[in-house]
């Protein structure tokens, strides 16, 4: 379930309160005031009331279908039959493979609709119309209340305005007006200007704490199949930009998205999402005038390679692959939901707090009334609390006293990441192992 559970619960609580909840009530810790895109959990909350978790999951699939339809309509449908070649197959396969990392039930999926619509508007070569400006403002208002990636629209417009003004040597009035109005639109949300500090803190704190998806893409231990696909994409676009040597192409918003991908693996998704629209605008989906047998063979090999990776890295097969990956890489696909263990605690009607694995916290918030230690909303927790979490997980001296401080009655950990604590619990008569689900173990505290 990833971090979906906490957003559903936050939505349900906000609906009950009649306003966005700003104080966390799920953790035993004292946390910061919460600032977040309030529309997203509200949508989840109402859908959950209507049709439980299934309704939320159906929403994600509908969003994905709408996105794929928009891409198909604007980049593939208009191609002539003669345009279909191994190169076209390769690009479509690369597109699908690159976006497949997003085929999980996380709130980030909701952002792809405002993203692809805004990209198409900003990527046009002519001057933005007033209708385009109004549409971008509406999209930004929607996005800033939907997901934390809302600054991408503003970044794309700023890039376009700056580069077009520099390359054409004239002031682009409507482009800069778009920047102004889109910037002001970011303030139209329940938290106002605080969303900017939320954005900055999320980036700064997540990097400082080495959250996997926030680590720079080309770090050695981050070199995954997604990284390889991203490097291939950068190579293709770079070669195209060099051979074309058309200066006006640099004003395309595709380039800042491509550069953004170097900053963190989570950002590599954006150039893949917009790949086919960019290729269509650059006429790269059309076949080469002269395509000899050697080029056909190269294109076929590339297409076959990408299709192979696409098939074996699709979401349904990822769980089977994760067990064979190194620990540092398998974290990218961790999606733990200990349903049976949570049900065991619920059936016993035991509301003592749970010391939990970081990634499990969201599901526990959704499924149980018990307070937990922490979840994936890492920026609301202090550095000291995060350090304490790691010290307990490693089973360092004083681990039991740290647990007693908050009166934890349960421990739920993934043994792949908390082996030190597991060893301590195995030799402790006060902590009784109650069950195992996949790699997650549940322990209960017994005072006698």
pLDDT, tens digit, 9 for 90 and up, residues 267-296? 999 999 999 999 888 877 665 555 556 656
What is the predicted pLDDT for the residue at 75?
83
Q: Which residue has the higher pLDDT, 333 or 95?
A: 95
What is the predicted pLDDT for the residue at 297?
66
Confidence of residue 26 (pLDDT cuts 50, 70, 90): very high
Q: Which residue has the higher pLDDT, 399 or 323?
A: 399
Q: Is the pTM of this model over 0.75?
A: yes
With residue 43 as reference, give the H or E element that holds it: helix 39-71
- In order of 15, 48, 71, 110, 192, the CA distances from 44 in angstroms are 10, 6, 25, 11, 22
105-111: average pLDDT: 88
What is the predicted pLDDT for the residue at 306?
57
What is the predicted pLDDT for the residue at 20?
94
What is the predicted pLDDT for the residue at 80?
59
> Which range among 42-46, 135-139, 417-421 shows the weakest confidence by mean pLDDT?
417-421
Nearest to 100 by CA among 352, 310, 369, 301: 310
- For residue 179, is pLDDT > 70? yes
What is the predicted pLDDT for the residue at 316?
43
Confidence of residue 302 (pLDDT cuts 50, 70, 90): low
Q: What is the DSSP letter of 213?
A: G
What is the predicted pLDDT for the residue at 293?
62
Tokens found for residue 280: 């269509």
Mean pLDDT of all residues in the chain? Answer: 85
- For residue 147, is pLDDT > 60? yes
Confidence of residue 106 (pLDDT cuts 50, 70, 90): confident
What is the predicted pLDDT for the residue at 178?
93
25-32: average pLDDT: 93
With residue 440 as reference, give the H or E element that holds it: strand 440-445
What is the predicted pLDDT for the residue at 140?
97
What is the predicted pLDDT for the residue at 85?
64
Residues 6 or more apart whose Cβ sits within 8 Å of residue 219 = none
Residue with tokens 């119309």: 129
Task: Give yes or no for a contact between 428 and 400, defined as CB atoms under 8 angstroms apart.
Answer: yes
Gap between the Cα atoms of 342 and 440, Å rounded: 11
Nearest to 216 by CA among 264, 267, 266: 264
What is the predicted pLDDT for the residue at 328?
46
- For residue 82, is pLDDT > 70? no
């Amino acid at each position: 379930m990833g971090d979906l559970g906490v957003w559903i619960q936050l939505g349900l609580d906000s609906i009950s309160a009649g306003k966005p909840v700003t104080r966390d009530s799920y953790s035993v810790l004292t946390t910061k005031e919460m600032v977040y895109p309030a529309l997203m959990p509200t949508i989840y909350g109402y859908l959950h009331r209507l049709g439980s978790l299934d309704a939320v999951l159906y929403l994600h699939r509908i969003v994905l279908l709408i996105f794929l339809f928009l891409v198909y309509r604007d980049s593939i449908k208009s191609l002539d039959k003669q345009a279909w070649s191994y190169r076209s197959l390769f690009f479509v396969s690369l597109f699908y493979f690159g976006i497949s990392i997003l085929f999980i039930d996380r709130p980030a999926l909701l952002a792809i609709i405002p993203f692809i619509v805004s990209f198409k508007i900003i990527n046009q070569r002519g001057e933005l119309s007033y209708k385009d400006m109004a549409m971008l403002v509406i999209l930004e208002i929607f996005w800033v209340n939907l997901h934390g990636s809302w600054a991408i629209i503003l970044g794309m417009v700023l890039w376009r305005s700056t580069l077009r003004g520099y390359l054409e040597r004239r002031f682009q009035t409507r482009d800069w007006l778009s920047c102004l109005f889109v910037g002001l639109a970011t303030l139209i949300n329940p938290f106002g200007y605080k969303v900017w500090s939320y954005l900055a803190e999320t980036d700064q704190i997540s990097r400082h704490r080495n959250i996997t998806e926030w680590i720079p893409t080309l770090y050695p231990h981050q070199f995954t199949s997604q990284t390889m696909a991203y490097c291939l994409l950068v190579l293709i676009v770079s070669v195209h930009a060099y051979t074309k040597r058309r200066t006006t192409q640099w004003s395309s918003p595709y380039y800042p998205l491509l550069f953004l991908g170097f900053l963190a693996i989570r950002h590599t998704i954006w150039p893949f999402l917009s790949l086919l629209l960019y290729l269509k605008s650059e006429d790269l989906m059309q076949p080469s005038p002269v395509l000899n047998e050697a080029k056909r063979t190269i294109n076929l090999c590339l297409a076959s390679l990408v299709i192979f990776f696409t098939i074996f890295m699709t979401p349904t097969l990822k769980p089977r692959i994760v067990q064979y990956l190194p620990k540092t890489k398998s974290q990218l696909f961790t999606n733990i939901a200990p349903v049976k263990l949570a049900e065991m605690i619920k059936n016993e009607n035991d509301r003592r707090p749970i010391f939990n694995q970081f990634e499990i916290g969201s599901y526990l918030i959704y499924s149980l009334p018990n307070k937990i230690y922490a979840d994936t909303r890492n920026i609301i927790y202090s550095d000291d609390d995060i350090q304490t979490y790691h010290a307990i997980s490693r089973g360092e001296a004083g681990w039991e006293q740290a647990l007693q401080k908050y009166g934890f009655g349960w421990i739920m950990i993934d043994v792949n990441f908390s082996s030190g604590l597991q060893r301590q619990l195995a030799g402790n008569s006060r902590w009784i192992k109650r069950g195992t689900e996949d790699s997650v173990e549940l322990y209960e505290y017994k005072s006698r």
